[in-house]
Amino acid sequence: MPLKDVLLALVVIAVWGLNFVVIKIGLQGVPPLLLGALRFLLVLFPAIFFIPRPRLPWRWLLAYGMTISLGQFAFLFYAMAAGMPAGLASLVLQAQAFFTLLFAVPLLGERVRAGQLLGLLVATAGLTLIGLRSGPGMTLAGFALTLCAASMWALGNIVTRRIGKVDILGLVVWGALVPPLPFLALSLWLEGPATLERAMLGLDLQSLLAIVYLAFAATMLGYGLWGRLLSRYPASQVAPFSLLVPVVGLSASALLLGERLDIQQGAGVGLVLAGLLVNLYGARLPARA
């Protein structure tokens, strides 16, 4: 991969890693479900007038929008509002790789390889260590909701695999047709009309900048560049860069939000990252040996 494209991949990783800090900042002025609605409204307009609709049935756009766009971010935003630290959220969300593996067996008929199973067991041990350390620094509800977000991301991965080759940016933009109305309905129901009205009338510059970042940087720029890389190189060459997202997320949250890990959480982080590495490279080790 040429240096130019390596740098593009690192830009995506930096943008996605900082995304969790920005979410935390955005939630200071906007309730989670309203934040989701505003994010996808900004993704949708005006991009939908310039980006062609992917050539696939509407049911797949609906499935993609309900899982990756609505399900993932409804759970993630609520998790972070409920006490999930930004850095740990960036890591625990990577459990999507293992949920994808588990869902692919019954839904796609795929087989689990020994390396993938070992990676799953190692990462599960790490997630257990993190989950057992709930308290002032991380709530159990926030941890559980982040795992729910990871499972919805995984279901979206299954949908994407069933769709096959498609323009990723077009899929993201047209999939953004789905979540705004459900997000707004859920916000009215769970957060209440008074909270919704107060948040909209009290939008400050910090909240607006957070929404713009989530819509244009994390979504449009991130997915656009990532899709470009996937169209040029094998997924096995691009996917390893995603392992750097929680590294950036943990570092940025420590520097910008003052979040710190204790020894048990740090050990859990190490095990999850080790599990992700084994899941990615485990199948190659016996062949090299």
Give the residue carrying structure tokens 């705004």: 180
**Could you read off the pLDDT of 178-235 as tens digits, one per residue?**
999 999 999 999 999 999 999 999 999 999 999 999 999 999 999 889 888 887 887 7
The residues, ordered by sequence, that sit 6+ positions from 113 with a Cβ below 8 Å of its Cβ are 282, 283
* pLDDT at 237 (0 to 100): 77
Average pLDDT, the chain: 90
Q: Is the pLDDT of residue 104 over 70?
A: yes
Amino acid identity at 53: R
| Least confident span in 2-6, 149-153, 279-283 | 279-283
The residues, ordered by sequence, that sit 6+ positions from 206 with a Cβ below 8 Å of its Cβ are 25, 26, 28, 29
Give CA–CA dist 250/256, Å, rounded. 10
**Could you read off the pLDDT of 1-30 as tens digits, one per residue?**
788 988 999 999 999 999 999 999 999 999
* pLDDT at 236 (0 to 100): 66
DSSP structure string for 211-232? HHIIIIIIIIIHHHHHHHHHHH
At 41, give phi and psi (nearest 5°).
Answer: -65, -40
Contact 70, 115 (CB under 8 A): no
Q: Is the pLDDT of residue 286 over 60?
A: no
* pLDDT at 285 (0 to 100): 54
Give CA–CA dist 170/188, Å, rounded. 29
Q: Which residue has the higher pLDDT, 279 or 192?
A: 192
Q: Is the pLDDT of residue 131 over 60?
A: yes
How far apart, in Å, are the Cα atoms of 79 and each of 41, 98, 167, 171, 264?
21, 19, 30, 26, 21
Give CA–CA dist 285/234, Å, rounded. 19
Query: Helix (H, G, I), strand (E, B), or coil: what is residue 162?
Result: helix
Amino acid identity at 243: L
* pLDDT at 213 (0 to 100): 97
